[in-house]
Amino acid sequence: MNKYFQTLLFASVIAFFVFTSCNHNHNLDPILAEAQAIQDEALHLGIGVDSIINAKLLIAKDSSDYEFLNQLKSEVAVWRLSLVVVPGLKHKCNHDHGEHVHIVGSDASHLSPADNKKVQEEWKTVIDNINQRVRQIIL
């Protein structure tokens, strides 16, 4: 596995622990709260997709399988980088280094709550499609 993907995987794991160890701001607009729930589902699905791809890379039998899995891994990386953060969401964390706010991804505060939800649905659809393709691969 090349360094780019190792770094991406490491960053994904760190992001997962940050998201799951934080207290979310639940005073959001109800539609933005739905958008956040969709985003959270997509993030967790992305972590699962990474795990499946990595497991399949370990047992890939030929170079075409390996290349296809690496292509999917790249698609997941691009998907992850296209994250649009739901506005108003603040992750207040209490770690050893004190309380702080995490901001990851593009800002969508200029969009309406309905548009923010639509962005999250479309973002989740991308990882759903990648997930389906990954699960169809039989090595």
Categorize the per-residue pLDDT at 108 as very low, low, confident or very high, splitting at 50, 70 and 90.
confident
Torsion of CA 20, 81, 51, 87, to 10 degrees: 20
Contacts of 121 (CB under 8 A, 6+ apart): 38
Convert the pLDDT of each residue in 50-90 to its tens digit: 999 999 999 998 999 999 999 999 999 999 999 999 987 65
pLDDT exceeds cutoff 90 at 114: yes
**pTM for the full model?**
0.70
Categorize the per-residue pLDDT at 129 as very low, low, confident or very high, splitting at 50, 70 and 90.
very high
Task: Give the residue with greater pLDDT, 107 vs 130.
Answer: 130
Convert the pLDDT of each residue in 4-30 to its tens digit: 555 555 555 555 544 544 545 556 699
For the chain, the average pLDDT equals 80
